[in-house]
């Protein structure tokens, strides 16, 4: 499982993250579970998860966790997560990720026995 997080810059993920994934073979993440996270200067950039990151990992054939995590400035004080809503969202995303991992491991085990 990967947890991929990025600051939002000009309504998208950073150039450094893009460069990293430019170097990844397009088959390398097939079937891998990916939890998406981002932070930005306003709540309005939260759609970067759906409009930028989810399609990126769709290209790689990864399975993205349905619940992503986006943090705005009000969610942090001195670098610590304090917003009740984001704490709840992190917990939900973690639960979703574990469910996906468990189901993918179960499916792999069945495929191994059948094949």
CA distances from 99 to 24, 27, 64, 67, 102 (A): 26, 23, 12, 12, 5
Strand bridging mode 76-77 / 69-71 = unpaired
pLDDT digits (tens, 9 = 90+) for 19-52: 999 999 999 999 999 999 999 999 989 999 999 9
| Ordered structural domains, the chain, with CATH | 2-114 (3.40.50.360)
The model's confidence at residue 86, banded by pLDDT at 50, 70 and 90, is very high
Q: Count of CB atoms within 10 A of residue 37's CB?
A: 18
Q: What is the pTM of this model?
A: 0.89
């Amino acid at each position: 499982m990967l947890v991929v997080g990025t600051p939002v810059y000009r309504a998208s993920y950073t150039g450094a993250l893009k460069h990293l994934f430019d170097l990844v073979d397009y088959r390398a993440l097939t079937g891998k579970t990916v939890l998406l996270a981002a932070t930005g200067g306003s709540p309005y950039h939260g759609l970067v998860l759906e409009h930028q990151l989810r399609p990126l990992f769709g290209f790689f054939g990864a399975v993205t966790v349905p619940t992503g995590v986006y943090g705005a400035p009000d969610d942090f004080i001195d670098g610590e997560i304090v917003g009740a809503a984001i704490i709840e969202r992190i917990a939900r995303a973690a639960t979703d990720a574990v469910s996906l991992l468990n189901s993918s491991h179960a499916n792999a085990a069945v495929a191994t026995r059948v094949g």
